[in-house]
A and B are shown apart, each in its own frame.
Chain A
């Protein structure tokens, strides 16, 4: 009985420690300024179709200080790779250093996939996301809503939790979202460091979000 009680107390203690650590990590975002030390390594989560178009418009506006750029695309996505290569080529033509890679991971959620099977495929995607993020060690994860971004952000958070590296999570909700957040948005609202929305209705509903008007 005493052993069981000790085990239970130990477990509770660990859980509390993890939660406290999580809160500390999440709140430390504003103090983290990777740009002061030099180039900022970005992990860019491109989704399919519209998501990729939007995120590339954001990437276009970022200066050369954001390098290298690692683009993550879902393994079932055929179109995004061409779009990214075309975009990076145009960036190179304007004189910026073309340091980028394209990485593929399993898609965590197909359009219209059910909630319960999404959970399983997201866990599966997490198995790929963790080693990838641990290897690339980005300063920032930038994403705008495809399901794939949840496991990648979780992996980034884990790096911070373990004290290996504070990875900043930057989320930009798609322009398509006027009155309600996407599923990814609802999850990442709580753990991201900078959460952008593009319509004032959403800013009113989610006060922690950042509203700078339309940015794509």
Chain B
């Protein structure tokens, strides 16, 4: 069963939850073969009921200590632009669609999402273009996000500090 996991982190992002559960978006998800939709809604005012959607199996919760398991089980992750969620999803090597909250201005977290999008590690849209993106997106263009090299840091520091 193909699963989609939607996460908004510690804040609220009602726009995203509303759009992704709209009949149009659900239709696109179904057309792509997704059957299960899990929503982490944070402090948002919308907590959809599991029987509110006939087309997909729907599950919604506010917070969990760790969403690692949800990410691991997902075939597609739709996330807010939070650095933590982005890095965790890419680290788990899952396709990621970031939905930018265009009502939040000057959010430095956008920097990372934008850069990772430029480097083809994730797809990028806003709530109003979500349905269109779900329809047209091509997950095959995404390239894996390889881990960084802490060893380079360690070698540099060893040399700088004279560690033998």
Hey, which chain A residues are within 8 Å of B114, CB to CB? 178
Q: Is A210 an interface residue (CB 8 A)?
A: yes
A62 and B154 contact, CB distance less than 8 A: yes
Other-chain residue from B108, B148, B149, B161 in contact with A168 (beta carbon distance below 8 A) = B161
Task: Say whether, besides A176-B111, A178-B112, A178-B115, A61 and B161 are in contact (CB < 8 Å).
Answer: no
Hey, which chain A residues are within 8 Å of B83, CB to CB? 50, 174-176
Q: Given the complex of chains A and B, what is the CA–CA distance between A33 and B163 in angstroms?
A: 8
Other-chain residue from B108, B151, B160, B164 in contact with A176 (beta carbon distance below 8 A) = B108
A196 and B161 contact, CB distance less than 8 A: no
Q: Is A86 an interface residue (CB 8 A)?
A: no
Hey, which chain B residues are within 8 Å of A33, CB to CB? 160-162
B112 and A58 contact, CB distance less than 8 A: no
Q: Is B109 an interface residue (CB 8 A)?
A: yes
B111 and A178 contact, CB distance less than 8 A: yes
Q: Is A92 an interface residue (CB 8 A)?
A: no
B164 and A34 contact, CB distance less than 8 A: no
Hey, which chain B residues are within 8 Å of A65, CB to CB? 158, 163-164
Q: Given the complex of chains A and B, what is the CA–CA distance between A210 and B155 in angstroms?
A: 13
Other-chain residue from A40, A58, A175 in contact with B161 (beta carbon distance below 8 A) = A40
Q: Is B31 an interface residue (CB 8 A)?
A: no
Q: Which residues A37-56 have CB closer than 8 A to chain B? A: 40, 49-50
Hey, which chain A residues are within 8 Å of B108, CB to CB? 176-177, 180, 182
Q: Which B residue sits closest to A139, measured CB to CB?
A: B161
B156 and A34 contact, CB distance less than 8 A: no
Hey, which chain B residues are within 8 Å of A215, CB to CB? 148-150, 152-153
A214 and B149 contact, CB distance less than 8 A: yes
Q: Which B residue sits closest to A181, measured CB to CB?
A: B108
Q: Is B58 an interface residue (CB 8 A)?
A: no
Question: Which residues of A does B touch, CB under 8 Å?
Answer: 30, 33-36, 40, 49-50, 57-58, 60-63, 65-66, 139-140, 168, 170, 172, 174-180, 182, 194, 196, 198-199, 210, 212-216
Question: Which residues of B does A touch, CB under 8 Å?
Answer: 83-84, 87, 108-109, 111-112, 114-115, 147-154, 156-158, 160-164
Can you report 10 residue pairs joining A to B where beta carbons are below 8 Å apart?
A: A33-B161, A34-B162, A35-B163, A35-B164, A61-B151, A172-B153, A175-B83, A180-B111, A199-B115, A213-B149
